[in-house]
Structure 1
Amino acid sequence: MTTWAPVTMQWPEQATHWMGELSAAKDLAGGELASTAQRLAGLDGMTSTNPGPVGAAAESAIAAGRAALAGQMGEVPACLTVTPFQSGVGQGRGQQRFLSAPNLLQQLASKLVDAGDAGRPTGPQYALSLMFLGTRYDQFAETLARFNALLPIPDLVRTERRARNLSRLETEKWVIPTAGPLPRWQTLPLERCTLVKAAKQSMSGQLAVLESYAADSSPMGELVALASRKAAQQVGRDQQLNDLKALLAGGNADTSMRARIVGPGDSSELRRLLLEGEAPGHEWVLSAGVLLVGSQQGLSFVRELVGL
């Protein structure tokens, strides 16, 4: 791939296809959990219970899910993050720091062949590079926020926060605060009264004892409540996942984020491939970048996430 493509954030269908294979076991578990409260209500007076059918039926699905998770997370790529606010990287004075897109690309490429870096990846691998571009601090912060909402990398999160604060500083430094007239109305600070504090301390212990009696319940009732909470939590998690999929469906290309994958090759070859082709120019005075180096399997999740 010789060009920098605009990033289209999307749900990684191929990298997460194994989740669909667990739907049967999840539905079975959900149905069993939904009926747990009724079954628990009938356990009063019984000395033993029969386990539900979920355990035996879900064993194969559990093994497949664990294997898929281990396979997806077992080849985590090496990650390098370059931002304008890192020491010796950005240009400028004081808090105002800048880093143009071509200079960012040079920084990313030079770290691939930095012999003094013990953490530098070695051997034939692939490299996936991401560039986040902006011309103003507020625009730069919004671009980083869209990516950090899905894959928060600590250096990018700090860069987003600093860019947003610098943008706010530029706006608020011209605002002259207004002070209200004196004296002002306010509530009476009764909590600072010595009598009130002593009475409150005396009553707190007694109220805690009474609340413990009021909250007393049977173990069976607590199990019923626990089953209900677990069912509600599962529904909430499923809804959150579905909402995220819907949000990423039909996304538009974001020109302020660019992505490119090169390889395979060793560090020198990856550097040469990374510098080839037409890249964003110096008109992007604010830029940050992420370079991921690893196998195709290890990069598959992020590659699909950014639409490559």
Structure 2
Amino acid sequence: MTWSPVTMRWPTESTRWMDQLSGAKALADRELASTGTRLADLEAVTTTNPGPVGAAAKGPSEAGRQAMAEQLSEPPACLVVTPFQSGIGQGRGHQRFLSAPNLLQALANKLTDATDAARPQGEQHALCILFLATRYDQLAASLARFNALMPVPELVRAERRADHLAKLEAEKWQIPQSGPLPRWQPLPLERCTVVKAAQQSMAGQLAVLESYAADSSPMADLSALASRKAEQQRSRDRQLQDLQQSLQDRQPDTATRARTIGPGSNAELRRALLEHDGPGHEWVICAGVLMVGSQKGLSFVRELVGL
């Protein structure tokens, strides 16, 4: 065998299967025009009957939508404090620490921070949640349990950083093994201009024909639609049941503690937050969230954390 010069050309043999599409494409064009004509003829002779379900569902659905809007229409103000925020945690480099008493003090100080124009005003209630840990993996696990139900962005970032620090501490002594070079790897055909353009064109033609291959009668479509709606309803019911079951019979989480205070002004809430004995300095890596709002606005979260 000798080295042959390279001539870039269209892969005729590899794409010969496209010649089989011409007959179906022509038939599809004619059928599309015929379908438009048949639909225009049926418009004047067909009627629809929505049935009794629409009228029966209208009242309960409107009441449920209004109740859900009222329950979630007053979101409380939220303040998150973590060891990784600038000026909050103690330590050097990536290793940051924040004990539970210092965390409570930082949360309380923000209630009367006159430089923060977004702080809540007037008579309010407050819900404080503390995530207590002595190691980064404990903090990440505690935050993960809460973020699975209510992912606050700042807590999600703290969870990821704590998890990465825990993995770094566990894996920093591991030496990665590297095999001899070079290595086998897949050919990046998706970067080839000709292949990309050909793939888009062929995929478009196939998609058009596949839409006709999936054609069915109107009665079959209506039956399939009814089946899909029933399956969607069953799927929603299962999701709600699974969520409710996952929150039943849970054991108390000693690493996550919550407390409600109020009503009162910001100064009164600050005093109430600091006046009772809280977790001590033995909890060296902690994070917390303080939610301030109306009693109705806090009801969903308060019940969620078991208060």
Q: Which residue of 2 aligns with 1:53?
A: 52
Equivalent residue letter for 2:114: A
Question: In the TM superposition, what are the counterparts of 1:254-269 in structure 2 within 5 Å?
Answer: 254-269=253-268
- 1:276-296 Cα distance to aligned partner (Å, 9 max, x none): 111001111111111111121
Q: Which residue of 2 aligns with 1:6?
A: none
Using a 3 Å threshold, how does the CA distance of structure 1 residues 260 and 234 change in structure 2: closer, same or farther? same
3-state DSSP of counterpart to 2:256? strand
- State the TM-score, normalized to the length of structure 1: 0.77
- 1:180-223 Cα distance to aligned partner (Å, 9 max, x none): 35566667888899998898677555544543432334455444
**Aligned-partner Cα distance in 1 for 2:202–2:268:** 74
- State the TM-score, normalized to the length of structure 2: 0.78
Residue 104 (str. 1) matches residue 123 (str. 2): no
Question: In the TM superposition, what are the counterparts of 1:118-267 in structure 2 within 5 Å?
Answer: 118-181=117-180, 204=203, 206-267=205-266
Higher relative contact order (CA 8 A, sep 6+): 1
Identical positions, percent: 70
Equivalent residue letter for 1:274: L
Alpha-carbon distance, 1:272 to partner:
0.3
Alpha-carbon distance, 1:95 to partner:
1.6
3-state DSSP of counterpart to 2:70? helix
**Aligned-partner Cα distance in 1 for 2:178–2:232:** 47
Unaligned runs of 5+ in 1: 1-44
**Aligned-partner Cα distance in 2 for 1:302–1:193:** 53
Task: Please identify, of 219-228 and 56-65, the stretch whose mean Cα deviation from structure 2 is larger.
Answer: 219-228
Structure with max Cα Rg: 2
Equivalent residue letter for 1:176: I
- Aligned Cα RMSD in Å? 2.7
Task: Please identify, of 137-146 and 188-197, the stretch whose mean Cα deviation from structure 2 is larger.
Answer: 188-197
**Aligned-partner Cα distance in 1 for 2:241–2:76:** 27
Task: Please identify, of 57-66 and 45-54, the stretch whose mean Cα deviation from structure 2 is larger.
Answer: 45-54
Task: Please identify, of 45-54 and 117-126, the stretch whose mean Cα deviation from structure 2 is larger.
Answer: 45-54
Using a 3 Å threshold, how does the CA distance of structure 1 residues 186 and 67 change in structure 2: closer, same or farther? closer
**Aligned-partner Cα distance in 2 for 1:97–1:129:** 22
3-state DSSP of counterpart to 1:263? strand
3-state DSSP of counterpart to 1:49? coil
How many residues are aligned here? 265
- 1:261-280 Cα distance to aligned partner (Å, 9 max, x none): 11111011110000011100
Alpha-carbon distance, 1:66 to partner:
1.7
Using a 3 Å threshold, how does the CA distance of structure 1 residues 50 and 114 change in structure 2: closer, same or farther? same
Task: Please identify, of 202-211 and 288-297, the stretch whose mean Cα deviation from structure 2 is larger.
Answer: 202-211
Using a 3 Å threshold, how does the CA distance of structure 1 residues 113 and 175 change in structure 2: closer, same or farther? same
Q: Which residue of 1 aligns with 2:291?
A: 292
Equivalent residue letter for 1:226: L
